[in-house]
Amino acid sequence: MAEELRDGRLLGRRDLLARATLWSLATSMLGGAWLGLRTLWPRAGRASAVRLEAGRPADYAVGQMGDAMLRDHWVWVVRTAEGFIALSARCTHLGCRLRHDTAGKRLACNCHGSTFTLDGQVQRGPAARDLERVFITLSSDGQLLVDPSVRYRREFGEWSQPGAFVRFSPEGRDA
């Protein structure tokens, strides 16, 4: 099954296999490069575009994490000394679900071993960036409200924006 080239020579079986191999190699390298680049960005999370009740501030002790929204919305609500934050439960490395390691007081990724502090900062990689914060606010009737579709990234300076945290005084009044 020899094919004729433009200059009249015949393309042998060995040449045909060599060209097919090169094309296959080039195609697989391009596909691999695409997949490699795709892993640099986390997968999209579940978006709700609705504010969900996360309980009352009195339901949380300082340093405590509330996981009532973890199963359905992949969000933790954390009470800090200054107030409240809501953290995405997706690892910033590849989007795996995090677990709360109560013994170590940290968040850990089961997939690749990244760990984060309870306020979302990276302790150990391969994750290179801090967790995303989720919109949190205090409603007029005293409920904590969370919107998982609104995210705040520390590297963009968004952790200091309104909605990335709720200041709350120990007496139970908004500071």
Start-to-end C-alpha separation, the chain: 83
Task: Quickly state the pLDDT bin for 29 (edges 50, 70, 90).
Answer: very high
Asked if residues 119 and 62 have their Cβ atoms less than 8 Å apart, the reply is no
Could you tell me the fold of the domain covering 52-167?
Rieske Iron-sulfur Protein (2.102.10)
Q: Please determine, for residue 3, whether its predicted confidence score (pLDDT) is greater than 70.
A: no
Domain ranges in the chain? 3-38, 52-167
Q: Is the pTM of this model over 0.75?
A: no
Residues 6+ apart with CB under 8 A from 73: 46, 48, 52, 146, 148
Q: What is the pLDDT of residues 56-92, one digit of tens each?
A: 888 888 877 777 666 778 888 888 888 898 988 888 8
Would you state the pLDDT for residue 171?
A: 61
Mean of the pLDDT values across residues 40-55? 65
Give the chain's length: 175
Please give the torsion angle defined by the CA atoms of residues 170, 172, 174 and 175, in that order, rounded to the nearest 10 degrees. -20
